[in-house]
Amino acid sequence: MSEAKRFVYADNAATTAVSPSVLRAMEPYYTTHYGNPSSLYSIGQAAKRSLEAARRDVAECLNADPNEIFFTSGGSEADNWAIKGAAHLLAQKGKKHIITTKFEHHAVLHACAALEKEGFEVTYLEVHSNGVVRPEEVEAAIREDTALVTIMYANNEIGTLQPIREIGEICRRRGVWFHTDAVQAAGNVPIDVKEQNIDMLSLSAHKFHGPKGVGLLYIRKGIVLPNLIDGGAQERSRRAGTENVAGIIGLSTALKEACATMQERGERLTKMRDRLIAGALQIERSRLNGDSVRRLPGNVSLCFEGIEGESLLLLLDLEGVCASSGSACTSGSLDPSHVLLSIGLPHEVAHGSLRLSFSDGNTEEDVDYILERLPRIVERLRAMSPLWETIKSKNIQYDIREF
C-alpha cells in the first residue's frame, strides 16, 4: 500500500513561512508599541529606537554600516531604486551604459528595459549552460561610459551562485558601480558587502522566514542616489513613507536567525537537495538545470521531456506537494522560462520544468515522499502525451548544451 498523502511545501524560493520567533518579535509593534517613529512623544521614540536597533542588526549580518541600510517595501523596489537611481545620477556624467545578464529577475530586466526607453544602452550578457556568469565576460563588456553592473547573487529559478567577489573586484578596479540582487541569497549563503566589493545590494524578508512587504537596499557610503519615492524625511530623507516598523523588526529578527544557523542549515539542505536530484535524475530523459554544486543549498531545478510543467504542478498539488515551474512572479505566463532559455534549453524542454526549493521546515521524509510521487506523475503525463510517443519513436535528441 502506498504512503498516505501528506503536505509538503517545496516552494520556499517563492516565499517562506514566517517563523514563530519572528512573529512573536513583530506582534508588540502591532499592539502596544505601535507608535510612529517620526513622532516626538515617548511611544514614537520607542519605536524609533527599535527601528534603529534593527538597522544595526541587519548591518552586522551584511558587514555594512548602519547608515548604509535603507528599508524598502521589498526586493523589487530596492532593485528599481538601485538601477534607476544609479543610471539617472551617472547619466549626468555621460555614463549611460548598463551591464546585466539575460537571466535576471524581472525587477532588474524590466527596470533596464524602462531605462532603454529613456535612451540608455544595456548590454545583456549571455549565461552559459551551467547558469554561472563568467567574470572575464563582465570585464570585457565594461566601457568608458558604463555606469553600473547589476548581476544577481543567486538565480531565483535554477539557484546558481554567481562569482560575486570576482565581479565586485573587477567593477571596483574599473571604477564602475556594482549592484547585486541578493533576494534569493540572503540568509542562505554568507554575504560580506565590504569583502565582496558590493556597492549596492537588495534583499527581501519573505525569502528567509520574515514577513512579506519589507526589504532593504544597502547603499555603500559615498553613493547618494536620487530618491525613488519622494515625500517625508524618513530613512534620512532618502526613502519617504512611514516605516513599516513591525515588518522591519521581522526582517532583522529573521535575518539574524538565518545567519546564526546558516552553516548547519546549509549542510542539511544540501544533503536533502543532492538526494532529491540523484533520485529525480533516475527518471528517463530528465535533466538538472544549472550547476550541480555551485547552487543554493535548497534549490532543485529539473526538466522532464515530453510533459508540460503546469500539468506536473497540478498533479503534484493533488498529492499535497507545493512546487513551481519557475519564478512565482511570472506564474501567469504560458511562455517558457526566460532563465531556462538563457542557459540554452529549447522551448520543448523548458516547458517541462519543475522547481523544488527547501527551507527550515522540510525534512528527509519530504524528499522520500516527492521521490515516491514524482516518477508516477511524470509517467502518467507522458502516457497521455502524443509528444512523448513521438520523442521515443523517433529517438529525438534535443540540442541541450551540457556543462
Label the pairing between strands 97-101 and 69-72: unpaired
What are 295's strand-pairing partners? 160
Alpha helices in 155-261 (DSSP H): 164-174, 234-237, 245-260
What are 217's strand-pairing partners? 70, 202
Q: Is 285 left (phi over 0), alpha (psi -120 to 50) or beta?
A: left
Q: Which residue among the candidates 61, 112, 259, 329 is catalytic per the annotation?
A: 329
Identify whether the C-beta of residue 152 lies closer than 8 Å to the C-beta of residue 105. Answer: yes
Query: By three-state DSSP, how is residue 25 classified?
Result: helix
Label the pairing between strands 97-101 and 286-288: unpaired
Cα–Cα distance list, 207 to 183, 226, 258, 264, 281 (Å): 7, 27, 10, 18, 27
Query: By three-state DSSP, how is residue 127 classified?
Result: coil
Active-site residue 329, yes or no?
yes
> Cell numbers 522540510 correspond to what residue?
362
Q: State the helix-helix crossing angle for 364-383 and 262-280, rounded to 10 degrees.
A: 30
> Cell numbers 508588540 correspond to what residue?
28
Element (H, E) at 303: strand 299-304
The set of catalytic residues is: 329
